[in-house]
Structure 1
Amino acid sequence: MSLPVSKEAIVGEGVAKGATETRRVTRLIRLPEVQHRVGLGRSTIYRWISEGKFPKPVPLGGYSVAWAEDEVEAWIATRLK
């Protein structure tokens, strides 16, 4: 038997009344998308990760990883400056 759950508990954090900022959700992107965005190959990306030159991926479970889209975008922005 389950207990009643509030809508805020299901959705996540409640939104304060009068809040004007939009809440940005971090999207995770997989290696092919990262390669497309940065124009680098798999080997270069992983080598630069080990050298501290590229954002580290987030483990998803098993052997699956993904990158936070905002970290990749920030890395691209620093390269363009």
Structure 2
Amino acid sequence: MSTITRFVGRRELLRELGISKTTILRWTAERGFPEPLPNSGQVPIYDRGDIDRWLRGERIAEGQP
């Protein structure tokens, strides 16, 4: 059985999405990308469910399957 991690650190998220820190900050400011969890400390942590929902919404908006 596989374990799905609910949270993901910024470094891992950047690697998975193939983007830079600058891009994720710009997406957050300009495109409504989910903010890191409050009080996540020096290493920002994101809710994977929020990221997945955002990605699905972007694909739909761009007309991609």
Any unmatched runs of 5+ in structure 1?
Answer: 1-25
Q: What is the aligned partner in structure 2 of residue 60 from structure 1?
A: 40
Matched length: 56
The 3-state SS of whatever aligns with 1:60 is coil
Pairwise CA RMSD of aligned residues?
2.1
CA contact (8 A) 1:38 1:76 kept: no
Any unmatched runs of 5+ in structure 2?
Answer: 61-65
Q: Distance in 2 between matches of 1:78 and 1:68?
A: 16
Structure with greater Cα Rg: 1
* Larger helix percent: 2
Q: What is the aligned partner in structure 1 of residue 10 from structure 2?
A: 31
CA contact (8 A) 2:10 2:43 kept: no
Q: Distance in 2 between matches of 1:56 and 1:73?
A: 13
CA contact (8 A) 1:45 1:54 kept: yes
Name segments (4+ residues, structure 1) moved above 4 Å.
none
* Larger strand percent: 1
- Per the normalisation by structure 1, the TM-score is 0.56
